[in-house]
Structure 1
């Protein structure tokens, strides 16, 4: 067994255990930390197959930004584990059913593709996978990339709209009123007399 294969099995084991702990952790912070470990391990597995761009993007975007933000949010909210367990028995059968369907689908795909895996494709030493990925994304799959960006934009707007709350101390900016404003409405000139400092009187006996 080669070193790369042994490292792959080790990373796969860590990834499976971390993913299992994400859904079975009793504390939210523990689940987020195991999710960070799962993404980090998946990034290392991508690095093994020389997909450096995807590995670095996974580390920078998800681990470095999104999940760290989730961790801070979970720690600041201070969610209680008792509240998270409410209704778990009600949704457990549906969750197990969906998880079983996903496992069956992945198993079917892996079993059918297991025999078709051939030898690795030989590439040149100066091959740039980032350039090749960008060329494929924005030529053959340009429409899919635009649809994905639109879906993410709609999700972001929906999240903002759902979490927006009215506050009494909130001040709304009206651009039309800002354009029509006059200097006299914003600035008031107050006349003030100029002050002249008088020289200090020398103390008696200072010249002696």
Structure 2
């Protein structure tokens, strides 16, 4: 791809660093910005920059937040005794879209995957154990992607929770093994939450 402007080339290169954005798509986006009023482009750039500078992670559940506690954890109407354990922030958004869950969340920040060099110490597991130990938690619901890594993570965390009087469940397998929560339709995900089962049904002791 030949460019008549180094500035244009550099902008395309930066956009193409984004996941799922190839050179052609990056060029289309940059050319669109060239047709946009400079004030709007400045606002776009400042919005992205401000987001990156000022965004926080909830001290309780590790979800993205504007404050020390995210809006979900800080809402009195949410059931604080329910914790839904998910892999990523995108999974929180997927479950929230179902409007069928009124508890809180805990974002692990990934799953245990030795082949990828990800161990338990690199995930937000200890803070989950602390929440279950220090608060009046009645149930922990695992809503991890139905694959080997997800099941391995559930097995490991379940063992860490074994000494606590907490009910431990997992969403039902309405989502196919090997699938991902963020791509599941809202009705399937909602039913998987409603029909959750003890983790023993999925993880061999």
> Higher strand share goes to which structure?
2
Q: Which one has more relative contact order, counting CA pairs under 8 Å at least 6 apart?
A: 2
Q: What is the TM-score of this pair, normalised by structure 2?
A: 0.23
Structure with larger Rg: 1
